[in-house]
Amino acid sequence: IIIPSDGGRQLNIAVPIHFAVMRPNYLHILIVTLVSVMSLVMFCVAVEAPSPAVSRLENSKVGETLFTFRGRYMVDLLAAAFLFAMGFWGIIMGVATLLLIFGIRFVGVKQPDAFNEIFRQSDIESQSYGDSYTLDDTYNTYNTEMSK
């Protein structure tokens, strides 16, 4: 499934490259490399292609979280923070990335089935959702001595 953020990820690669060409110094090139690699990896995760790269990511410890909403959210927040430092187009793309993150979460609240189809659940999330009744009951303290 291709979601609308895929085009945004491509622009998140183009804007840093433009920024590095306009201001070529060490720090800018380092930040551009980080944002471009993050955006490229997240683009591969979103479209699940090319197969060898995706299978390597799925089998790695870091890759397990990249396929969940929480993992994508964290990487996108980091990329947006770097984009805000890249002039006018970086600010535009940083805002667009943040709007996309919150828009996807909003849709996830309204349409949980579609959200679960796009994103995987981590082990922690699946345990907490599957065991929510017992988690809530552990914090309830009943005073049994007063009833005696």
Q: Distances in Å between the alpha carbon of 146 and those of 53, 142, 143?
A: 61, 9, 6
Report the candidate in 6, 12, 11 with the shortest Cα–Cα distance to residue 80: 12
Question: For the chain, how many helices (H) and strands (E)?
Answer: 9, 0
Q: Band of the pLDDT at 6, cuts 50, 70, 90?
A: low
Cβ atoms 119, 111 nearer than 8 A = no
Cα separation, 86 vs 68, whole angstroms: 28
How far, in Å, CA of 43 to CA of 103, rounded?
Answer: 18
Mean pLDDT within 83-108: 89
Structure tokens at 57: 């990511």
For residue range 19-54, what is the model confidence (pLDDT) as tens digits?
888 878 888 888 889 999 988 888 888 888 888 888
The pLDDT value recorded for residue 127 is 53
